[in-house]
Amino acid sequence: MTAVSDEDRQLAVRAVAALHDELKAYPKPGLVSQVDSGAHADMDFALMSRSADSLLEPFASLAAAGRCGRTFEDALMPLGIAAEKRMLAATGGINTHRGAIFSMGLIVAAVARTRACSATLSPASIQATLRQEWGASLVTHAARGGDSGSHGAQVLHRTGRAGARRQAALAFPAIFQAAIPAYRQALCAGLDDNAASVHALFALMAAVDDTTVLHRGGLAADSFMRDAAAAFLADGGCAQAGWFDRAVRLHHAFVARNISPGGCADLLACAILVSRCCKTDLEGRDAGPD
C-alpha cells in the first residue's frame, strides 16, 4: 500500500468538502439538501453528510495511489471497492455515494498525479492525466458493463445508455466541458457559490446520461430532465432574475415524478473540486516569485 502524504490528506479534505458543498446547494431538482430529501425516501441530509465524512481516508489513499501512478486494476479499483464498504458501514447499507466514489476517486487520483508530474494544475492538464494514466483501463472497464445486478448494467441493457463508466472512459467530458465552464461562468458573472453550483448542475443535467434518472424513469424521464434543464439554461439559468423560484418549481416537479439526477450531483462535486484546486494552484503561483 502506498504511504499517504500530508498533501494527499489535504486533497482528500478538499474532496469531502466538495461533496458537502454539493449536498448543501439548493434548489437541486429531485436531490437531497438541507431543505428536504428530494425524491429519496431512504436518505436525508444527515445520512449523506455522514456518508461523505466516511470517505476522507479512502480519498487520501486514492490520492496517494494516483500520485504514484498506480494502475486502475491493481490499486484504484480495489481502493474504490474498499471505500464502498466503508460508506455502506457508515450508512447502514444505503448506497449514498457509490457513484461519487467512482467519479471523485478518479478525479482525486488525477489531481494528485498531475501535481506530481506538472508545475501547474488546470482542468485541461487534469483531464489529460486521466486519459494518459488510466484511459485504456477505463475503456476496458466500460466495455465490461459491470455486475448484471447493478443499476448501471440494468440501464445499459434496457436503454443502451452507459452512464458513469462511459463518462470515465471518455475522461469525463461532462465535468470538463460542461460543468466547469458553467460553474466558472456563473462565478465570473458575480453569482455566489450556491447559485454557481446550481447553474453547473443544470448544465450537467442537459448533457449527461444519468443512470439514476434512467433507472427510475427510463428514457421518458431522461428526456424530461434534459428538456427542463435546457429550457432553464436557455432562459439565462441562475443569472436570470427569479431563477431560484423556477428551480424550486422544477425541484417539486422532479420529486413528483420520482426523478433524481444523482449521477449529475456526483459530477458536480467533482467539478467543484477541480475548479477550487486549480484556483488555489494559480493563486499560489501568483503569490510566489517569478
User: Over the stretch 141-157, which tens digit does the pLDDT of each residue have?
Assistant: 988 866 645 666 566 55
DSSP symbols for 178-224: IIHHHHHHHHHTT--HHHHHHHHHHHHHTT---HHHHHHHHHHHHHH
Task: Report the C-alpha gap between 252 and 36 in whole angstroms.
Answer: 11
Domain boundaries, the chain: 6-282
Please state the separation of Cα 96 from the chain's center in Å.
Answer: 13
User: Over the stretch 153-212, which tens digit does the pLDDT of each residue have?
Assistant: 566 556 555 667 889 999 999 999 999 999 999 999 999 999 999 999 999 999 999 988
Residue 90 corresponds to which cell in the numbers above? 457508515
State the pTM of this model.
0.93
Q: Which residue has the cell 490528506?
A: 9
Q: What is the mean pLDDT of each run of 10 residues along the chain (290 residues)?
A: 94 98 98 96 97 98 98 97 97 95 98 90 96 96 69 60 81 97 96 98 95 89 96 97 98 96 97 92 45
